[in-house]
Amino acid sequence: MFSSNFKLVTMARRFSCHTKVGNDSNGNPLGSNGVITFKTVTNLLRFTEHLDKTYPDWRWFNVYDSKTRNKLISFTKNRRPSAPFI
């Protein structure tokens, strides 16, 4: 006779994003050839806001499923996500 006080919590889908962020203030590429990987992205709209604040010269990012590693979609600075999730 156990009482169940547990709530069912759904995990947010996680994405891995490969992002072309450009160069630092000295002209040196950030990351590997200017590409940085973010492995635990859960909200694409907030991720885009983060890129605008931290890397204002970012150009594009590819979104991959973190479990299967399949490429899902690509976004650019001009063609941004319209929803937080895919």
Q: Among residues 74, 76, 50, which one has the least CA distance to residue 62?
A: 74
What percent of the chain is modeled with pLDDT above 90? 64
Position 33 in a domain: yes
- Expressed as residue numbers, the domain containing 51 is 15-76
- State the first-to-last Cα distance of the chain, in angstroms, to the nearest integer: 41
Q: Which residues of the chain have pLDDT under 50?
A: none
Q: What's residue 84's pLDDT?
A: 94
DSSP 27: S
Q: What's residue 28's pLDDT?
A: 84
Q: How many domains does the chain have?
A: 1
Residues 6+ apart with CB under 8 A from 61: 17, 18, 19, 20, 47, 51, 74, 75
Position 6 in a domain: no
Q: What's residue 35's pLDDT?
A: 92
